[in-house]
Chains A and B, each alone.
Chain A
Amino acid sequence: MSKPTDNNTMSAGGVTRQTFLRAAVGGAGVVYAAGLAYPVYRYVASPVEKAAKESAVTEVTLKDAQKLAPGSALMFKFGSRPSMLIHHDDGTWTALTAVCTHLGCTVHYQEDKKRIHCACHGGVYDPKTGANVSGPPPKPLKRYEVKVTDAGVIISRSQDRA
């Protein structure tokens, strides 16, 4: 503890000892708090970082998916995102995210009604374009590029949306 008379001793720079000490102690405290908070934050955020890495994938190959019967759909994960591959009756293919743009429920392809439906709040999407047709969804489902080969179906992030 310094004597009270020392408290206002000016140094060359015009900073009192008390101000300097306060700043030093405060600075050390901030460094400590940061040194403590950083590893804890990174530790807690580990799965978040992992998921971000996973969803950074640009291409997924679904083996043998070319055998999918026309008029039916298949669920798969694009990175960490639930997604859906539809083989239409006319032989065309569509792949899109299966996460409702309203509140994030996983949507469902209704084969009899030929539509994508969300059971949570009754949102409906067009199975060919992903456009939101009726109900609360504010945006269309994002589509992927589809390439059908003899070995499987290659799904990739569509260029225009990447």
Chain B
Amino acid sequence: MKSLLLSAYSWADERLGLEELVEFARHKTVPVHSQAFWYYWGGLSLFFFLIQFATGVLLLLYYRPGPDAYDSVRQITFDTNFGWLVRSVHSWAANLMIVAIFVHMFSVFFMKAYRKPREFGWWSGVALLGLAMVFGFSGYLLPMDDLAYFATKVGMEISNLLPVLGPKLADLVRGGPDVSEYTVHRFFALHVVVLPAVFLPVLGFHLWLVQRHGNALPPSEETRPAALRKNETFFPDFMVKDFAMWLVAFNILSVLAFMFPWDLGPQADPLKPAPLGIHPEWYFMSQFQVLKIFGDWFPGTLGEVLGMAVFTAGGILWFLIPLYDNTQEAGRRARRATWFGLFTLMALIVTTIWGYLAL
């Protein structure tokens, strides 16, 4: 039996060059230091994405976009064996995936892992976060309950801030002046075909870069002499711990999905008033609140335009950080980048909490 497996392996190896991969994995190492905990968060993001992929395919077995959307989600939740659980896992993992990506991004930022030669890793990573948020926004509408309906309605109004082109674009995206079954169909196509088709190659690129450049060292480790730095092998040492983290994540996800099954509100009805305290998902809360603050300071469209401008400018600065904090020395510029990161993190947290308190 064993010799049969071996000869099958060498048959495949001759044709595919598997031995090169094994050799690569054997030599790949991961740094060990006090901040190594943060190395797991990219893998955790990937784990939640895989969960999303699997549960998304399962939901596709019964979900029907269009006028039937609400009814099909009601059937999944109440009439299908464990449908409530599959849906709950999909919703919870979506949120946990965004959490994991945020933690991953900020840890990369503060470890300054975006510096040369890892600029493209940073850019593709920020792109993946953006795509994940569009995944979240488009997926939120699909059940077509009242919260989904009004959240999407409000979210789409933001495009009105772009003069002339904005409203036209929004009409095209919605398939009409209002959120309707056409919108569900469009968001569905976006959510299950377009976004995965874009996300997967970017993810592949991102992972390939990680293999190419390896894990980045935080500045505190970089300054230590190479002889004092510690490493462990990727396979099996790091991978075992990586999988242990996945197992922890899986357990947390299971408990959340079981104990707090995702709700389905009443069917969307444009004639009913918006439910009290309606608000976007937490990862849009900060933008929501910034728009509100600026709206209070500068009544009318001016406030909203300024709010959007501040957020967009911040986002662009964030995206371009590898270009203006690119030196290895721990100079003034590097310190400024750290302050910028701390400010961004605090601003996001404060405006998010503020947003929830102001509901």
Interface residues of A (CB under 8 A from B): 39-40, 42-46, 49
Complex contact B85–A46 (CB within 8 A): no
Chain A residue with the shortest CB-CB distance to B247:
A32
Asked whether any CB of chain A lies closer than 8 Å to the CB of B83, the reply is: yes
Asked whether any CB of chain A lies closer than 8 Å to the CB of B9, the reply is: no
Complex contact B85–A39 (CB within 8 A): yes
Given A39-B85, A39-B86, decide whether A46 and B80 contact each other with a Cβ distance below 8 A: yes
- Nearest 5 A/B pairs, CB to CB: A42-B81, A39-B82, A43-B82, A46-B80, A46-B81
A42–B81 CA distance with the chains assembled, in angstroms: 6
Query: What chain A residues lie within 8 Å of B6 (beta carbons)?
Result: none
8 contacts between A and B (CB under 8 A): A39-B85, A40-B82, A43-B61, A43-B82, A43-B83, A46-B80, A46-B83, A49-B81
Query: What chain B residues lie within 8 Å of A39 (beta carbons)?
Result: 81-82, 85-86
Q: List 18 extra interface pairs beyond A40-B86, A46-B62, CB under 8 A.
A: A39-B85, A40-B58, A42-B81, A42-B82, A43-B61, A43-B80, A43-B81, A43-B83, A43-B85, A43-B86, A44-B58, A44-B61, A45-B81, A46-B79, A46-B80, A46-B81, A46-B83, A49-B81
Interface residues of B (CB under 8 A from A): 58, 61-62, 79-83, 85-86
**What's the nearest-Cβ distance from chain A to residue B91, in Å?**
15
Chain A residue with the shortest CB-CB distance to B54:
A40
A43–B81 CA distance with the chains assembled, in angstroms: 5
Chain A residue with the shortest CB-CB distance to B89:
A39
Interface of A (DSSP majority class): helix
**What's the nearest-Cβ distance from chain B to residue A139, in Å?**
33
A111–B240 CA distance with the chains assembled, in angstroms: 72
Query: What chain A residues lie within 8 Å of B61 (beta carbons)?
Result: 43-44
**What's the nearest-Cβ distance from chain B to residue A12, in Å?**
30
**What's the nearest-Cβ distance from chain A to residue B79, in Å?**
8
A141–B31 CA distance with the chains assembled, in angstroms: 72
Chain A residue with the shortest CB-CB distance to B59:
A43
A39–B80 CA distance with the chains assembled, in angstroms: 11
**What's the nearest-Cβ distance from chain B to residue A145, in Å?**
32
**What's the nearest-Cβ distance from chain A to residue B84, in Å?**
10
**What's the nearest-Cβ distance from chain B to residue A52, in Å?**
13
Chain A residue with the shortest CB-CB distance to B61:
A44
A40–B61 CA distance with the chains assembled, in angstroms: 12
A44–B86 CA distance with the chains assembled, in angstroms: 11
Query: What chain A residues lie within 8 Å of B83 (beta carbons)?
Result: 43, 46
Query: What chain B residues lie within 8 Å of A49 (beta carbons)?
Result: 81
**What's the nearest-Cβ distance from chain A to residue B261, in Å?**
13
**What's the nearest-Cβ distance from chain A to residue B248, in Å?**
13
Query: What chain A residues lie within 8 Å of B79 (beta carbons)?
Result: 46
**What's the nearest-Cβ distance from chain B to residue A29, in Å?**
10
A46–B85 CA distance with the chains assembled, in angstroms: 14
A5–B302 CA distance with the chains assembled, in angstroms: 74
A40–B83 CA distance with the chains assembled, in angstroms: 9
A39–B85 CA distance with the chains assembled, in angstroms: 8
Chain A residue with the shortest CB-CB distance to B55:
A40
A42–B85 CA distance with the chains assembled, in angstroms: 11
A40–B58 CA distance with the chains assembled, in angstroms: 8
Interface centre among A42, A43, A49 (most CB of B within 10 A): A43
Query: What chain B residues lie within 8 Å of A43 (beta carbons)?
Result: 58, 61, 80-83, 85-86
Chain B residue with the shortest CB-CB distance to A45:
B81
**What's the nearest-Cβ distance from chain B to residue A15, in Å?**
24
A44–B76 CA distance with the chains assembled, in angstroms: 11
Query: What chain A residues lie within 8 Å of B80 (beta carbons)?
Result: 43, 46
Query: What chain A residues lie within 8 Å of B86 (beta carbons)?
Result: 39-40, 43
Chain A residue with the shortest CB-CB distance to B79:
A46
A57–B62 CA distance with the chains assembled, in angstroms: 25
**What's the nearest-Cβ distance from chain A to residue B273, in Å?**
36
**What's the nearest-Cβ distance from chain A to residue B107, in Å?**
27
A43–B61 CA distance with the chains assembled, in angstroms: 10
A104–B220 CA distance with the chains assembled, in angstroms: 72
**What's the nearest-Cβ distance from chain B to residue A32, in Å?**
8
A118–B62 CA distance with the chains assembled, in angstroms: 32
Chain A residue with the shortest CB-CB distance to B58:
A43
Chain B residue with the shortest CB-CB distance to A44:
B61
**What's the nearest-Cβ distance from chain B to residue A3, in Å?**
17
A95–B61 CA distance with the chains assembled, in angstroms: 35
Chain B residue with the shortest CB-CB distance to A35:
B254
**What's the nearest-Cβ distance from chain A to residue B88, in Å?**
11
Chain A residue with the shortest CB-CB distance to B80:
A46
A44–B58 CA distance with the chains assembled, in angstroms: 8
A82–B86 CA distance with the chains assembled, in angstroms: 32
A45–B81 CA distance with the chains assembled, in angstroms: 8
